[in-house]
Chains A and B, each alone.
Chain A
Amino acid sequence: MKILTTVKKVVDVELNIHVKDGAIVEDGLQYVINAWDENAVEAAVQLKENNSAETTLVSIGGGDNTDMIRKCYAMGIENGIHIEDPALANADSSAYAKVLQKVYEKDDYDLIITGKQAQDTDSGQTGIILGEYLGLPCVSNVISIEVMDDQHIKVSRLGDTGTEILEMELPAVVTVSDSINEPRLPAMRGIMMAKKKKINVMDLAALGTSAEEVGAGAPQSEIIEFMKSETRQAGQKFEGDAAQITAQVVNLLATEAKVL
């Protein structure tokens, strides 16, 4: 089985993010692998370990992605593709999905695993749109993947009324939730080996496409402004005798906040 996982380099959400004049202040930002993509990588590596698969990752944009891709190599991914092109500066989910479509078509895969969401966009669209563009079955928010035979996998997803269990025909696309696994910490040996591995860096032309074809020049939607989120103010904090402060707070909830 050939597995393709998609990996995006995103801004570290644990750090402070400042906005000035409608844009994010670059100073002081750090970039990391998207958390849900780390789950996708772990899922691919587990499938490889349990069922003999060939694993490839693809990442679009992000500038120098060497460290991130090496980290995925150290986790067990075998091949890495990095699509980097200045024409992708304004890409939206649809454009990314079109680029991923080209990557898929160059070298047919049996299973595509994407994260459910990118932490910088919080969109949760790219994998699902890719499934539509490729005309492949797609299940989102997946929390387990099991290989049935060469042509089928069984997945479970978190739905509105419970856990839905589906059988999917391959090739297929799944987007994974963070509940699917706990990504491994790469071992020293893997880290050393990863340093020697190549990364296949391509621009759109090398991929056999263009900014027009993937819709990157004129995206379906574009961010025209970033604003500060209205952060809540810390309110009143009570310390001391538990019984006393609790009674005091209940009183405030009833009389001041009027929510009881």
Chain B
Amino acid sequence: MAKILVIADIKQGVLKGSTAELLSKARAMGAETAVVAVGSNIESLAPDLAAAGSDTQFIADDPSLEQFSAGPYASCIVDAAKQFEATLIWFGFSESGKAAAPRVAAQLNAACATEITDATLEGDEIQVIRPAIAGKVIQRIKVNTEQLVAVVRAGAFEATEGITGTENVVKLTAPAADLKAVIKEIISDASGEIDLADADIVISVGRGAKDQAGVDLVKELANDMKAGFGSSRAMVDGGFMAHNKQVGQTGKIVAPTLYMAFGISGAIQHLAGMNGSKVILAVNKDPEAPIFNVADYGIVGDLFEVVPVLREEIKKVRS
């Protein structure tokens, strides 16, 4: 039986939904499942990790693992992969995952694939599907090694209701710190805001909002709707939005139920980060803006006029 090891996505001590999504897919493929969790003060998450659908929980819990450092993080995962004899090693989509997956693969001498949207196992043959060239094509990849390390694209797999695993904790010893790349400081992004990756609705603002007043106007709508508030790169470069709010190829990949784009032209690099959304609404004053090619609903208009009306109308239908 194939064995699939899923890397637990834990942020601020909370287990994120992507872990259950990956484990659900693994179980649906008929595989034996395990999860590996790396961090500090996370041992208490064992029941949650089991409930998410894993039958074994490898846990590396140590104060030295509090802050993400790619070297030690990868070492813990390699340790778990070897003990479990994993065929597939899956990361959910995150910056840590993108940094660690190629290291884990190199250490295991296994192939690595990022942004996968599907995986199949037939006999010994592993194949994966993934977009490439900014989402313009889809590749089918055949894996020639016995193991594959992969980063799964956000929203690729769905969590199945009613799945649970069994609690069986294996403790991992913390590896030595990476003395050649030492973390000195983390400048934390505004916390307390809704994580784009978790949000059911994402509202993004682009250069069309012009300045801080425009950004604030759209943000009020996001607050009303309890939506994640994102941005194009133009507004990050302009200093109006934090880096971790950037949606797109070099930012966050999101796949919410509803994505609303205000004053965003729809450059290929932005589309690559949101075209997996279920429903897209775009507001842009240029009827030829490429964003309208992917939008289910397009409003050709000035966002400064449209947003206040949207807020009122949405309040009406929601009450």
Give the interface of A toward B (CB within 8 A): 11, 13-14, 17, 19, 24, 92-94, 97, 116-117, 119-125, 128-129, 131-133, 136-141, 143, 154, 158-169, 172, 177-179, 218-229, 231-232, 234-239, 242-243, 245-247, 249-254, 257, 259-260
Contacts and interface: CB of A to CB of B under 8 A. Distances in A.
Given A92-B111, A165-B184, A234 B294 contact: yes
Nearest to B309: A246
Contact of B317 (A117, A172, A260): A260
B156 interface: no
Given A229-B135, A259-B279, 18 more contacts: A17-B133, A120-B133, A122-B115, A125-B112, A128-B103, A138-B70, A158-B243, A160-B68, A160-B96, A162-B244, A163-B187, A163-B189, A178-B250, A179-B233, A221-B148, A225-B139, A242-B299, A245-B299
Contact of A235 (B275, B296, B309): B296
A258 to B, nearest CB: 9
Contacts of B201: 259
A141 B101 CA distance: 14
Nearest to B278: A259
Contacts of A97: 106
A6 B224 CA distance: 46
Which of B103, B112, B140, B280 has most A Cβ within 10 Å?
B112
A108 to B, nearest CB: 16
Nearest to A156: B187
A234 B284 CA distance: 14
Given A122-B131, A250-B310, A224 B244 contact: no
Contacts of A235: 280, 295-298
B42 interface: no
Contacts of A14: 268
Contact of A253 (B135, B244, B258, B275): B258
Contact of B298 (A124, A143, A237, A257): A237
A254 B144 CA distance: 48
Interface of B: 11-12, 67-68, 70-71, 94-96, 98-99, 101-103, 105-107, 110-115, 127, 130-145, 148, 178-189, 191, 201, 233, 236-237, 243-244, 249-250, 257-258, 268, 275, 278-281, 287, 292-302, 305-306, 309-310, 313-314, 316-318
Contact of A257 (B127, B136, B189, B297): B297
B306 A221 contact: no
Contact of A221 (B111, B316, B317): B111
Contacts of B96: 159-160
A219 B145 CA distance: 9
A259 B102 CA distance: 38
Contacts of A159: 68, 95-96, 186
Nearest to B140: A225
Nearest to A10: B133
A226 B137 contact: yes
Contact of B107 (A93, A132, A172, A259): A132
B186 A94 contact: no
A92 B141 CA distance: 11
A234 to B, nearest CB: 5
Contacts of B144: 218-222
Given A169-B180, A234-B295, A235-B296, A162 B141 contact: no
A139 B275 CA distance: 29
Given A162-B187, A172-B180, A223-B139, A141 B275 contact: no
Contact of A229 (B138, B143, B279, B316): B138
A132 B106 contact: yes
A115 to B, nearest CB: 11
B281 A166 contact: no
Contacts of B182: 166-168
A254 B305 CA distance: 21
B54 to A, nearest CB: 21
Contacts of A131: 103
> Which 8 A-B residue pairs are closest in the complex by CB-CB distance?
A132-B106, A235-B296, A137-B180, A220-B111, A237-B298, A128-B102, A250-B313, A137-B181
Nearest to A92: B111
A234 B292 contact: yes
Contacts of B186: 159, 161-165
A260 B318 contact: yes
B138 A129 contact: no
Contacts of A250: 310, 313-314, 316-317
23 contacts: A97-B106, A125-B102, A125-B105, A132-B102, A137-B180, A141-B98, A154-B184, A160-B68, A161-B11, A161-B68, A161-B186, A161-B244, A165-B183, A166-B183, A167-B181, A219-B144, A221-B113, A234-B295, A234-B298, A242-B305, A242-B306, A250-B316, A254-B317
